[in-house]
Structure 1
Amino acid sequence: MVTTPNVDDNEVLEVLMAATGLPRPHLKVGRATSLRKLASGKIDYASLQARLLAPRQQMAMDVLDAFRNAFYPRQVGPSDTFETLGGDSLLYVQLSLTLERQLGSLPEGWETMPLGDLARTAEPRNHSRSIDSQLILRAAAILLVVIHHATLWPIPGGAATLVMLVGFSLARFQRQRLFAGDTLAVLRPLAANLALYAPVVAGFSLARGEVLWPSVFLVGNLGFTAPPHMMPYLYWFVEAYAQTILLWVILFSIPQARRIAHAMPLVSGIFVLAIAVAAKFLTPLVWYIGGPQIFTLPDMLYLAVLGWCLYFLDTPPKRKAFFSVIAILCLVLAWWGGNWTGSWVKFMLVLGAVFVLLFIPHITLPGWTARLILPVSAASYHIYLFHRVIPDWLLPQLDLGTHQPAGPAAAISIGLASGLVVFWLQKQLVGWLAYRRASLTLPL
């Protein structure tokens, strides 16, 4: 506790670090005009300690509240970690946004830290932020999706990147549960995400006067029927995401497959990747449904498996060799996919995302840039679900649907805003429910 007004905090910290041998995260400087004293004239160390501990205790409560809101209705305690609570990629993104605001910066590997320890890592905000590259990729991917759907620009790589991130996130956050056969824990986040999708399906069903059964059963992307008897094709990602998770659950429900994957995650992953790539090339020969083929599970599964494999490349030589192979594969796929601008853009974007995940795990950005990117990344799923709902209804009413560039600009802005608003509303609702639950469990 410093009472001298003209002393810089950093100077005090340097003295404390030299005197105590403790690292910076374990030291904190507080300020006061004077120190309270006892009747004997000695410093009241008890009140001083309480004053110093109060911000830390409040920070611990804030971190706990953030996790309780994110994992509602599960019970959360100081010894829990993001991984032990069963966090998935979307919760990782959302909590990254919240914790970055609370702690000033996120320590590397925070998802494996007990919450009590995580709360003690709070640091003053810097002008720059080191951001997990996965968060930046997610924000860039959803922005590409929104722009692609609002314009005629040939930039179809956003959804492909999101599919790859599904596999990468399964390996990063769910591998231990999959290896242990705890498939219920893997299905829980899927159920939560589909609960948000259900009102969208219900809304389209009401608007069209019929139950869109293919979309209800998450098979609309398989070509059994076509709009208007199903959701618009742009929702294929949700169905493919659900099918991918279910496929992983089925595979890891087989004890022998689970043991092999646990013992040799990279080798087994590459084996499955080879099968998935073969399925992409061979499936149209026996089951061809035309343009919607690109939305089917056999056509995009290799992207999720690719993401899974990327996580287990743990040495630079492996990463370089694997990247070289994927570069060749992307060139082949770009040519095989029609050899047109959109195909080349798509697979070069995928290759770029692979490069980032392999070689640039963190990216340092100015603070203001991070504050723009993180909310978009956290709300990426919500943006995907709602980015066309309001524009498709509103813009024709305003006669802006075909106006360039006002129409696309309005569609992009409204689409992003719609998802961000829904994300904020969901956070408020879950936070209120968590608060109500905590209030009801408090002793009288």
Structure 2
Amino acid sequence: MPVTPPSSLLPAIGAVPFVRDLATHGDRPAVLTPDGEISYADLAERVRTTAARLGAARRLVLVVGANTTDALVAYLAALYAGHPVLLVPGGNDTAVTALVSAYDPDVVVGPGDGGWAVTDRRAASAHDLHPELALLLSTSGSTGSPKLVRLSHTNLQANAESIAEYLAIRPTDRAATTLPLHYCYGLSVVNSHLARGAALVLTDLSVADACFWELFRATRATTFAGVPYTFELLDRVGFAAMNLPHLRYLSQAGGRLAPEQVVRYAELGRRAGWDLFVMYGQTEATARMAYLPPDLAADHPAAIGVPVPGGAFRLAPVDDHPDPEVGELVYAGPNVMLGYATSPADLALGRTVDELHTGDLARRTAGGLYEIVGRRSRFAKILGLRIDPQQVETMLARHGVSTTCVGGDSELLVAAVGDGDPRRVRRLVAEEVGLPPRAVRVLVLAELPRLATGKPDLPALRALAGAAGAPAPPPAAAPSGDLCRLYAEVLDRTDVTPDRSFVDLGGDSLSYVEMSVRLEQELGHLPANWHILPIAELRAPARRPGRRRSLETSVALRAAAIVLIVGSHIPLFTITGGAHLLLAVAGFNFARFQLTDADRRDRLRQIRSGLARIVLPTTAWIGAVMLVGGDYRLSTLLLVNSIVGPPGSETGWHFWFIEAVVYLVLALAALLALRRVDRLERRHPFAFPLALTAVALLGRYDVFGLDARYDLPSALVAGWLFTLGWAAARADGMRQRLLVTAATAVTVPGFFGQPQREALIVAGLALLTWLPTVPSLSAVNRVAGVLAASSLYIYVTHWQVYPHLRELPLVALAASLALGIGYAALVNRAWRWTASRHPGRPTLADQPSG
């Protein structure tokens, strides 16, 4: 039945065919929710009832979008009655208010005090509405902006049919609404499935929510749509291991999915029996313009594919682009918008756009596939250089850094997600694009600010950068009480907030030494477990005149032990046991910094990086000594001297301690790589190392008589000290600490037959178990911090120093310590330089040794 509008040019009721024909699908399910099922016949009746409530006089209807039955019915009812729909985001009062103010809708449909409500603001429209106008949507990223995309009835129907065709949507398909209704991509899922009589699993749950997957399985859903951020969430929730027997395909759009992700999900789908459709679109084309056939995804993961049915691409020349095969992607088809609207007056306009200049730079491959290579409008001119932020993002992704880049007038803002090293990122960008480092601003964030669509919120990102202020050189010392600034300086982070801890911010045992010393200077004391406390909980007490300083116990032991080791080797004095005490400290630090709450794979990655920080500088030094004529053997270089000998070697024993740590950590990594063992350690963090200690004591007491015959490696004979240090770190409460102390007091005496040596180890382990800090002085703290941080390198290098200075024992000690400290500085600098050029290799990882 035709409407009787002011103008005879206005369309008939149900001008969009898939809306008009809802009832033809009969009793087939249309909408599935946790509350039940709605058939197409029922949905059609609800739509007709609401359409009657909206009236026959054509008016501008604002609908507050939400993934609910009420919002869906309101949207369809407005289209059914021929009213232009202004679809706005739900849950965003600011955007709704802004668009109501800008466009003065005649009717507002949205949640009210008593449920969903239709609010008539006037009986007849205040606007001149073009006959073809069906829908108004915000452009991507401009929620609440007065700039809208004008879409026609033909646009909606053509795009729904096109999508349904290339996805081969069946009446039996059931699509979960993983994207917002007001977002063009999410809306196209609704339109295309309704056009084929398929069902919608209507939900606003996130894919990160376990309840979403319960609903997905219960409703036998066959598909869902995702933007790149959705796939990040899928990785986090272990999607690859899920059992989804009815899943038929995934679709992806809303931004570029990294090629390696495309390959991974395409292969995952191939093995599991579902397809991955990578797609490309814009709101201006009623959602989608291209798709990549699933069978091509693994081999062409960087491509957006071919035009959707009914559409066509051409490449418009770009005068200032260096590659002649690259042009601006221009699209033509029946889904291209009528044009933009920036005010109510534009609602009277007809078609002002015949083809869509996407603003994306693309090339066409020999196989006929299109690839996006950049964004024309995102080019920035910084210090006279023309920069493409998307190319910078792609380059950094190759180096394992996930970023979003935004060009400014005088700098390039690079927002890095996760634990990226700002200096490394800045160096990579500067070298790639030719900008000076001062023109590259790196902001490290735990999460990018995102729009409801999952896309990065660039205005919010700029606001964050503005709030952070211009980067300033690190201060020589943080002002008293300014702990966030101190953390930022020591850890070289720009995302330090009072609610985060040292461990949260990626601290390791190397930075731990400096951090503990600097914190003690600021606070005058170190709270127990300060490294896992939020910064906000670290507060300096009222200072009393003459208050003594304190030093973190493990730092003090590392510093004291290395001095005792070198001094006893000279010998300046004879106080032995320092290396065995360091073995316990190594276990203590292994527990605190490598057995974190991270998942199993991240733990193993941390352990691997920690081993590299021990093995590489050690073997580099041994190799250098061998080159200049030293008497080390190949077995020493390979750190297998304690296994293959030769027996009686005068220098082979030099690195027994390092071999022991390496063997122990390798064995523990292999053990913890087993899922069941990993879970067991997490469930029983104290009992687990205590049980390992009981096993390790078989070697300490040579229960099987093997040591006498085979000269067992120190890792088997002394490994119980490492696991005791681990247990000391996990001991919680007096009973557990007493148990560690008792185990130490019972097992250490008699091991060497040297009471003084054994007493040193017992005392050191007791301090480690019971006292988080020991009294100290400010000057002592600074010296101890340097010695502790350099202890591994002092141990490695001192063998080549003191033999030449035995006649001057004090000089020999000072020279040995100085060379080790210098080698530590050199290694750390080389490590940072190498890491910046070879992503994926170990970075400033934890060092479990002393």
**TM-score (norm: length of structure 2):** 0.38
**8 Å Cα contact 2:487/2:496 also seen in 1:** no
Where do 1:267-278 residues align within 5 Å? 267-278=687-698
**8 Å Cα contact 1:132/1:361 also seen in 2:** yes
**8 Å Cα contact 1:86/1:185 also seen in 2:** no
Residues 129-185 of structure 1, C-alpha deviations (whole Å, 9 max, x = no match): 222111111111111111111118543210001100111111122222577353012
**8 Å Cα contact 1:142/1:158 also seen in 2:** yes
SS of aligned partner of 2:594:
helix
Give the direction of change, closer, same or farther, for the CA distance of 1:410–1:305 in structure 2 (3 Å limit).
same
SS of aligned partner of 1:331:
coil
**8 Å Cα contact 2:517/2:781 also seen in 1:** no
For the pair 1:318 / 2:774, whether they are aligned, the reply is no
Where do 1:186-265 residues align within 5 Å? 186-208=607-629, 212-225=633-646, 232-265=652-685
Instruction: Please say which of residues 249-258 and 103-112 is displaced more in the overlay.
Output: 103-112
Give the direction of change, closer, same or farther, for the CA distance of 1:220–1:163 in structure 2 (3 Å limit).
same
SS of aligned partner of 1:265:
coil
Q: Which of 290, 300, 303 matches 2:718?
A: 300
CA distance in structure 1 between the partners assigned to 2:625 and 2:814 by the alignment: 22
Give the direction of change, closer, same or farther, for the CA distance of 1:88–1:161 in structure 2 (3 Å limit).
farther
**8 Å Cα contact 2:577/2:760 also seen in 1:** yes
CA distance in structure 2 between the partners assigned to 1:184 and 1:306 by the alignment: 23
Higher RCO structure, 1 or 2 (CA under 8 Å, sep 6+) = 1
Cα drift, residue 108 of structure 1: 4.9
Letter in 1 for 2:490: A
Q: Which of 811, 815, 822 matches 1:414?
A: 815
Where do 1:340-355 residues align within 5 Å? 343-355=754-766
2:496 maps to what in 1? 78
Cα drift, residue 251 of structure 1: 1.0
Cα drift, residue 214 of structure 1: 2.2
CA distance in structure 1 between the partners assigned to 2:568 and 2:678 by the alignment: 39
For the pair 1:362 / 2:773, whether they are aligned, the reply is yes
CA distance in structure 2 between the partners assigned to 1:130 and 1:152 by the alignment: 28
Letter in 1 for 2:773: H
Residues 328-373 of structure 1, C-alpha deviations (whole Å, 9 max, x = no match): 222242xxx3x3xxx3222211110121112222112222332332
2:590 maps to what in 1? 170
The structure with the greater share of residues assigned to helix is: 1
Q: In the comparison of the two structures, how many residue pairs are matched?
A: 357
CA distance in structure 2 between the partners assigned to 1:212 and 1:124 by the alignment: 56
SS of aligned partner of 1:387:
helix
Residues 3-59 of structure 1, C-alpha deviations (whole Å, 9 max, x = no match): xxxxxxxxxxxxxxxxxxxxxxxxxxxxxxxxxxxxxxxxxxxxxxxxxxx969997
CA distance in structure 1 between the partners assigned to 2:517 and 2:827 by the alignment: 15
CA distance in structure 2 between the partners assigned to 1:57 and 1:369 by the alignment: 22
**8 Å Cα contact 1:186/1:249 also seen in 2:** yes
CA distance in structure 2 between the partners assigned to 1:58 and 1:435 by the alignment: 30
1:30 maps to what in 2? none
Cα drift, residue 216 of structure 1: 3.5
Structure 1 unmatched ranges of 5 or more: 1-53, 69-74, 396-400, 437-444
For the pair 1:423 / 2:841, whether they are aligned, the reply is no
Residues 196-216 of structure 1, C-alpha deviations (whole Å, 9 max, x = no match): 223212212203489943234
2:566 maps to what in 1? 146
CA distance in structure 2 between the partners assigned to 1:55 and 1:328 by the alignment: 47
SS of aligned partner of 1:314:
coil
CA distance in structure 2 between the partners assigned to 1:239 and 1:96 by the alignment: 28
For the pair 1:95 / 2:515, whether they are aligned, the reply is yes
1:161 maps to what in 2? 581
Letter in 1 for 2:615: L
For the pair 1:329 / 2:747, whether they are aligned, the reply is yes
Cα drift, residue 297 of structure 1: 1.3
Structure 2 unmatched ranges of 5 or more: 1-477, 838-850
Calculate the aligned-residue CA RMSD, in Å. Answer: 3.8
The structure with the greater share of residues assigned to strand is: 2
**8 Å Cα contact 2:636/2:652 also seen in 1:** no
Residues 263-321 of structure 1, C-alpha deviations (whole Å, 9 max, x = no match): 1222222221111011222278225478x75x521112111011111122211133224
For the pair 1:282 / 2:702, whether they are aligned, the reply is yes
**8 Å Cα contact 1:390/1:414 also seen in 2:** yes
SS of aligned partner of 2:560:
helix
Q: Which of 678, 681, 686 matches 1:266?
A: 686
Letter in 1 for 2:640: V
CA distance in structure 2 between the partners assigned to 1:277 and 1:428 by the alignment: 40
Q: Which of 773, 780, 786 matches 1:375?
A: 786
Give the direction of change, closer, same or farther, for the CA distance of 1:62–1:262 in structure 2 (3 Å limit).
closer
**8 Å Cα contact 2:524/2:550 also seen in 1:** no
**8 Å Cα contact 1:146/1:387 also seen in 2:** yes
